[in-house]
Amino acid sequence: MNNKHWWFTGGMLTGILVITILCIAALTGGLTTYFLLGGQMANDGQTTATIYADQGWQSTGVRVMPGMKISIEVTNGEWTYWSGFQPYNSGEGGNYICAVAMPATRCVEPLSNFPTGSLIGKIGSQTFGIGKDSTLAVEQLGTLWLRINDGDVGLYDNAGELVIDISVQR
């Protein structure tokens, strides 16, 4: 066999292997999920994260894709968005909702129509309220990020942390 035949045969075998892998991925969804999520599989199961009141967006490390269902629940801890002036809460926040008091464009909270001091989350560009617990259908591919609903300029006077259980189902 000459060199042209070796290259042709090797190329054919490589092509067949790639097509086989793609077919398996399409049928099982496993490899597709693997590649879409940057090499980390989003497995069914539960994860625990601690989220601090004096920090902005904090990654939970939980990567999800559209169609998954995610349940988020505060299991321990308390925090406040104004230490010494506002009571501690377990993720439900206080009575103040900025967008009710003024135009939302003037609010500094990431989610101006949700109570200040509450637990909020985001996946991709979608930001949503959680409170003490929430279950939602995932709309975007990405990592789950959590934080207190308070403006970045106001994090310095926050205190406490929440322990969060996160469950993902396909």
**Per-residue pLDDT tens for 12-64?**
666 665 565 544 444 444 444 444 444 344 456 899 999 999 999 999 999 99
Instruction: Give me the chain's average pLDDT, please.
Output: 85
pLDDT in tens, 67-90: 999 999 999 999 999 999 999 999
- Tokens for 95, please give them: 């009575």
Regarding pTM above 0.95, the answer is no
For residue 76, the tally of other CB atoms under 10 A from its CB is 12
| DSSP code of residue 170 | -
Backbone angles phi, psi at 138, to 5 degrees: -75, 130
> Angle at CA 17, nearest 5°, toward 11 and 20?
140
- Tokens for 141, please give them: 């591919």
Residue with tokens 């299991």: 75
Give the pLDDT confidence score for residue 3 in this predicted structure: 57
Sign of CA dihedral 33, 36, 39, 42: negative
Q: In angstroms, how far is the first alpha carbon of the chain from the final one?
A: 51
